[in-house]
Structure formats: structure tokens, C-alpha cells
């Protein structure tokens, strides 16, 4: 079964750091671009970041540039998001998602989400 | 404020047809970039509904269809059912931002 499972969420103080993980299974992980998307409580989806299959190319939303780092370990079939200098507005459910191999940047497989709460 | 603009809400009675619009600009929908649509049921992760403007992934009913024209796109749902009540999001790529962008989302209520 094709699956993505996030972990690493939790409660963090403002200015703190956290690393989210996304374990992939059921497909050849290295063949796919991967994304992070977040959703603040009661709000809409916001794209965060994207990484190429080999990991050499990355893109970020302006709101997280310089604070978030996307990476992947293809040997472990795992995607990461290192988030630092956390602010209250970073409070959200963070989803990892797989980009379709064809059809533009459509995201065809999503994880269940990891909640990150930023509060003192 | 989202780069792609969607109506906050739409509604329709069972069996009716509803459409959800998604308006962008020349740096996203109005360019070469495709539009994709997602359905998010309460408390669950988003699900891909339409990709590449008008293509349905396996398992998505043909009651759902998409279109794109100029700087706008639309999602149409025919034969509305109670289980279609959800939030719907459009997505595209924006060359000015060098990244993907989502619409603000539309809440569909089945009356």
C-alpha cells in the first residue's frame, strides 16, 4: 500500500526548533518530488516547500525561507522538514505529500498530518 | 490573502450541479501551468480530485470535472450528494513565486 506517515510534531516555545519526518512506503521514493503543505487551525492549505527526487533541488514559500529546511534520505525512504525560529503563526498541521510523476505538480498521496503548536 | 481566489462558500440541493471558481493571474493559471483540485472532508487529509485541469485520478466519480480558461479554472460537481459536503481547494504553480500556490478554499454545503 502506498503510504506516507508523518511524525515529530508537538508543542514548541516561540523561537524553538523541531524536525518533522515523513516515512514513505509502497513506492519507489527516489523517483518522486515531495512537498510539505501546512494548514493552520480552521484555515486553508498553504504550500511550504518542495524537493526533487535526488534532493538537489529545493523550493520554499517566502514565509518560511531561511527558517525551514527540507531534506530527504532516500536510503531510509524518509522526507524531513527542519523548522526553526518558530513563531505563533507557524502553528498548523503539517502534511507531507507526493507529487505525481506526470500531470504537473499535483499531489496524489498525502500523509495524515503532524500537528505543530507554537506557544509559551 | 491567497494568490488564487475562490468563493468562500457554495451550496446546492441533492442532485443539483454546482461550480467552484478559481481565479489567478498571468503568472500562474494564465500561463502554462496546470490547475489541480482537492477535496478535504472534515478532520481528514486532502484528496486529489482533479489533476492537469481536467483529469480524474482512478476512483474519482465522473460527477467531478474541471476546466481552465484564461486566468481562471472551475470545478463542477453534478448530481450533488450529501457526502460531497467538504472543503475544496484549487492549486497551481506560480512562476513569480517559484512555487506552488493554493486557493483559499471553498466550503460546499449540501442543503
Closest residue in chain B to residue A61, using alpha carbons only: B99
Cβ atoms within 10 Å of A88's Cβ, excluding its own: 11
| pLDDT, tens only, B25-66 | 999 999 999 999 999 999 999 999 999 999 999 999 999 999
**Interface size between A and B, measured as CB pairs under 8 A:** 72
d(CA A66, CA A58): 12
Q: What pLDDT does B1 receive?
A: 83
Q: Is A106–B52 a contact, with Cβ atoms under 8 angstroms apart?
A: yes
Considering only residues A62 and A101, tell me which one the structure prediction assigns the higher pLDDT: A62
Q: Do A108 and B57 touch (CB under 8 A)?
A: yes
What is residue B5's DSSP assignment? B
CA–CA min distance A45, chain B (Å): 6
* A65 touching B (Cβ < 8 Å): no
* A105:B55 CB<8 A: no
Task: Give the confidence band of A101 by pLDDT, cuts at 50, 70, 90.
Answer: confident
Which residues, in sequence order, are CB contacts of A10 under 8 Å at separation 6+?
Answer: A18, A115, A116, A117
Q: For residue B89, list chain A residues with Cβ-Cβ distance below 8 A.
A: 44-45
pLDDT tens digits for A45-87?
999 999 999 999 999 999 999 999 999 999 999 999 999 999 9
Best interface-test mutation with A: which of B5, B48, B93, B100 has the largest number of A CBs within 10 A?
A: B100
Query: How far apart are alpha carbons B61 and A13 in whole angstroms?
Result: 44
Nearest CA-CA distance, residue A35 and chain B, Å: 10
Per-residue pLDDT at B101: 97
**CA B5, B11, B14, B18 torsion-angle sign:** negative
pLDDT recorded at residue B85: 97
**Cβ contact (<8 Å) for A104 and B34?**
yes
Amino acid at each position: 500500500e502506498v503510504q506516507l506517515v508523518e511524525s515529530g510534531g508537538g508543542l514548541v516555545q516561540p523561537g524553538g526548533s523541531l524536525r518533522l519526518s515523513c516515512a514513505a512506503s509502497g513506492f519507489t521514493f527516489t523517483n518522486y518530488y515531495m512537498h510539505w503543505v501546512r494548514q493552520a487551525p480552521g484555515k486553508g492549505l498553504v504550500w511550504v516547500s518542495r524537493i526533487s527526487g535526488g534532493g538537489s533541488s529545493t523550493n520554499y514559500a517566502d514565509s518560511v525561507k531561511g527558517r525551514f529546511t527540507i531534506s530527504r534520505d532516500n536510503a531510509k525512504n524518509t522526507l524531513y522538514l527542519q523548522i526553526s525560529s518558530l513563531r505563533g503563526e507557524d502553528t498548523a498541521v503539517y502534511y507531507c505529500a507526493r507529487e505525481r510523476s506526470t500531470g504537473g505538480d499535483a499531489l496524489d498521496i498525502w500523509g495524515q498530518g503532524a500537528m505543530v503548536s507554537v506557544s509559551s | 490573502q491567497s494568490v488564487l481566489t475562490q468563493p468562500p462558500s457554495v451550496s446546492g440541493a441533492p442532485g443539483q450541479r454546482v461550480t467552484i471558481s478559481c481565479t489567478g493571474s498571468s503568472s500562474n493559471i494564465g500561463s502554462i501551468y496546470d490547475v489541480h483540485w482537492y477535496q478535504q472532508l472534515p478532520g481528514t487529509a486532502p484528496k486529489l480530485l482533479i489533476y492537469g485541469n481536467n483529469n480524474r485520478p482512478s476512483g474519482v466519480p465522473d460527477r467531478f470535472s474541471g476546466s481552465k480558461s484564461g486566468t481562471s479554472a472551475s470545478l463542477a460537481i453534478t448530481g450533488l450528494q450529501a457526502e460531497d459536503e467538504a472543503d475544496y481547494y484549487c492549486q497551481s504553480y506560480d512562476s513569480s513565486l517559484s512555487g506552488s500556490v493554493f486557493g483559499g478554499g471553498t466550503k460546499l454545503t449540501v442543503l
